[in-house]
Amino acid sequence: MQNKPMVVVLDSNPNSREILASYINEMDFIQEVKLYSDYNQGLEEIKSLKDDVIVILDISQGNSDEFIEKVRLHVSKLIITSTDYSTNMIVKALRMGAKEFLPKPVLKNDLFRVLKMFADENYSSEDSNSKVISVYSNKGGIGKTVIAVNLAKELAQVTKSKVALVDLNLQLGDVATFLNLNPIFDVSYVMKNFVGKNEDEFLKSFEQYKDSSLYVLSDPTYIEQAERISPQEIVSLFKAMKKVFTYIIVDMSSAIDENSLKILDCSDLIFFTTIVNIPAIRNAQRCLNLFKSRHYPNDKVKIIVNRYMDNDEIKIEDIENTLGEKIYWKIPNNYFTIMDAINKGVSISEVNSSSNIGNNFREFAMKVSDDIIEQAVIQYRM
């Protein structure tokens, strides 16, 4: 039997502190509740606690994002409360890394449900809203790896959540080269030996990128080591990853085979990538028809235009008219900065974060995480 969790409440309102304490004291699955009106003092306590800890942080008085971030660094089981429960506020709370938002006054049943969930020994902090995002195009050399690598890196940077970057372009994968990694384990080895292990061991089979919250699973260094993988193994890998990572970014080959279709079917989002030229757009059209025939939900496939230039003869509206779909994001053409990053084996933001493409990837990551959170809020409100 594991230790019962502690609860630390940071709330400047004495009434709500007392009410929360009286509710929590009735919950026999909580070890102890500590109350703080002084937030900095509360933060010091959180830092010193070695036990499993759940924090209830009230932000009705408009606490700074910086403070919330500091709390988030030390706890994953964070509940934010506020008297303002507008959609904007909920989005903000979830974006700042809160796992739950409770409107004030907090209802006893809601509090019980959330604390019980956190106290459950099988609770996994990252599973509930985990998303598999595949970067795909049925054309080669279009920028899938550039996008997967840099989106994953920026998502980890912007959200501070655990992000996995998985190279499923088996035999021809470039992820390890783009980030200058020498992985100990490769995808097929991990699929066969680590899926099903406990979370800590499973996580160790990934290579952490520098000190960030980005974890990489590359393809084998030597082509002859690449073992065949089955669609069923892909399903099991995704399932295991969803317990550990908030975002799972998949770099794919341009093949349309059994494995690619399995990856696409199992993805929550597909970033279908094209560039501004007629053959690429024709290809995109064919591929979007294929997706339609597989009955993917409307908002599962998002179109990304890569290597965009303002003076392109073909305009974004033309592409949208041809494809009958809105463009979700466009990434500027910047060959020099990208090649500089690839040659140095680092992400674009590490060679030039203020370049047009450096900014673009940061904003792209923010949009992706905001849209996913907004979707969660809509479900929250239902």
Ligand X SMILES: Nc1ncnc2c1ncn2[C@@H]1O[C@H](COP(=O)(O)OP(=O)(O)OP(=O)(O)O)[C@@H](O)[C@H]1O
Q: Is 167 in the site for ligand X (CB under 6 A)?
A: no
Burial class (CB in 10 A: 0-12, 13-18, 19+), 368: buried
What is the smallest separation between the CB atom of 255 and Mg ion, expressed in angstroms? Answer: 12
**DSSP 8-state assignment for residue 186:** B
What is the smallest separation between the CB atom of 214 and ligand X, expressed in angstroms? Answer: 17
Nearer to Mg ion, 16 or 145 (CB): 145
Residues 341-380 that bind ligand X (CB under 6 A): 342
Residues 344-363 that bind Mg ion (CB under 5 A): none
Q: Is 260 in the site for Mg ion (CB under 5 A)?
A: no
Which among ligand X, Mg ion, none contacts residue 338 (Cβ within 5 to 8 A by kind)?
Answer: ligand X
Distance, C-alpha 286 to centroid of its chain? 29
Residues 225-264 that bind ligand X (CB under 6 A): 254
Total number of residues shown for the chain: 382
Residues 75-114 that bind Mg ion (CB under 5 A): none
Nearer to Mg ion, 145 or 360 (CB): 145
Residues 170-209 that bind Mg ion (CB under 5 A): 174
**Distance, first Cα to last Cα, the chain:** 35
Q: Which residue has the tokens 């093949």?
A: 255
Examine residue 183 and say whether the peptide bond preceding it is cis (omega within 30 degrees of 0). no
**Can you say whether the dihedral through the CA atoms of 200, 203, 204, 205 is positive or negative?**
positive
What is the smallest separation between the CB atom of 283 and ligand X, expressed in angstroms? Answer: 12
Q: Is 259 in the site for Mg ion (CB under 5 A)?
A: no
Q: Is 306 in the site for Mg ion (CB under 5 A)?
A: no
Nearer to Mg ion, 46 or 132 (CB): 132
Residue type, 335: Y
Of 148, 168, 141, the closest CA to residue 279 belongs to: 141
Q: Which residue has the tokens 């974006």?
A: 95
CA distance 187 to 234: 10
What is the smallest separation between the CB atom of 367 and Mg ion, expressed in angstroms? Answer: 22
* Binding interface with Mg ion (CB under 5 A): 144-145, 174
* Binding interface with ligand X (CB under 6 A): 137, 140-146, 169, 174, 254, 306-307, 331, 333-335, 338-339, 342
